[in-house]
């Protein structure tokens, strides 16, 4: 019985019999399968819906990530996109939709309003959907660029594959504050 020395994945190829077979951990296999077959339920309320349209349309093309098919019934979906501001009046509907979804279910907060209420901190707005339902990935931006959302989707896929349910935030991959010198050079190059 040999074992492939591959510590990064949990796949093992077992030899010794006539054909040989591979084993893997069931949850890793499931995670891999879930990762590329996200059936989404778009809960679109406000401005971010415009960027959501852009994301679903050909230029940014969400379909590349296996998250193409929108399900218009929460019972058939496993990824809930909360796109836009959730008002106090809307919150019961959101909660109900979340409860109707079957496990495994993931929630992606699209935009600042869904993440923390944004600049509408007043009597009518829920300050972030995590006050009402648990949330997996937050994508900040008002509205976020489609690239940022795709980054969030990839982050979610990564978390699904790892089986990690702690919330995560999409952050810029490049922090200008930490790379002041490079930024200056870029500016010099661009500005001539």
Residue 47 C-alpha from the chain's centroid: 19
Whole-number Å distance between alpha carbons of 184 and 180? 6
- Strand 168-169 relative to strand 79-83, pairing: unpaired
Give the residue, chosen from 11, 24, 95, 161, that forms a contact with other proteins under the rule CB under 8 A. Answer: 95
Shortest distance, position 94 Cβ to other proteins, whole Å: 8
Contact characters 13-52, other proteins, x per CB under 8 A: ------------------------------xxxxx-xxx-
Q: Is 69 in the site for other proteins (CB under 8 A)?
A: no
Minimum CB distance to other proteins, residue 162 (Å): 15
Q: How many CA atoms lie within 13 A of 180 on its CB side?
A: 1
CB of 36 to other proteins, least distance (A): 23
Long-range contacts of 22-28 (CB under 8 A, 24+ apart): 27/163, 28/161, 28/163
Stretch that binds other proteins, among 5-13, 16-24, 102-110, 112-120 (CB under 8 A): 112-120
Structure tokens given for 188: 């010099």
Please choose, from the candidates 50, 47, 43, the residue with its C-alpha nearest in 3D space to the C-alpha of residue 107. 43
Judged by the rule CB under 8 A, the positions of this chain that interact with other proteins are 43-47, 49-51, 53-54, 57-59, 70, 72, 84-85, 87-95, 97, 116-128, 130-135, 138, 142-143, 145, 166-169
């Amino acid at each position: 019985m040999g074992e492939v020395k591959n510590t990064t994945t949990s796949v093992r190829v077992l030899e010794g019999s006539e054909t040989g077979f591979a084993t893997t951990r069931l949850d890793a296999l499931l995670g891999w399968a879930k990762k590329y077959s996200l059936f989404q339920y778009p809960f679109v309320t406000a401005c971010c819906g415009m960027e959501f349209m852009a994301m679903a349309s050909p230029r940014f093309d969400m379909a590349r990530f296996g998250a193409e098919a929108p399900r218009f019934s929460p019972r058939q979906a496993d990824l809930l996109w909360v796109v836009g501001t959730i008002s106090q009046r809307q919150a019961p509907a959101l909660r109900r939709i979340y409860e109707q979804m079957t496990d495994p279910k993931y929630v992606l907060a699209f935009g600042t309003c869904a993440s923390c209420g944004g600049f509408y901190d007043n009597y009518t707005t829920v300050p972030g959907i995590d006050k009402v339902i648990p949330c997996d990935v937050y994508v900040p931006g008002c509205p976020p660029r489609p690239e940022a959302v795709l980054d969030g989707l990839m982050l979610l896929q990564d978390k699904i594959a790892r089986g990690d349910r702690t919330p995560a935030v999409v952050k810029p991959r490049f922090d200008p504050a930490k790379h002041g010198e490079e930024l200056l050079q870029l500016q010099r190059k661009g500005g001539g």
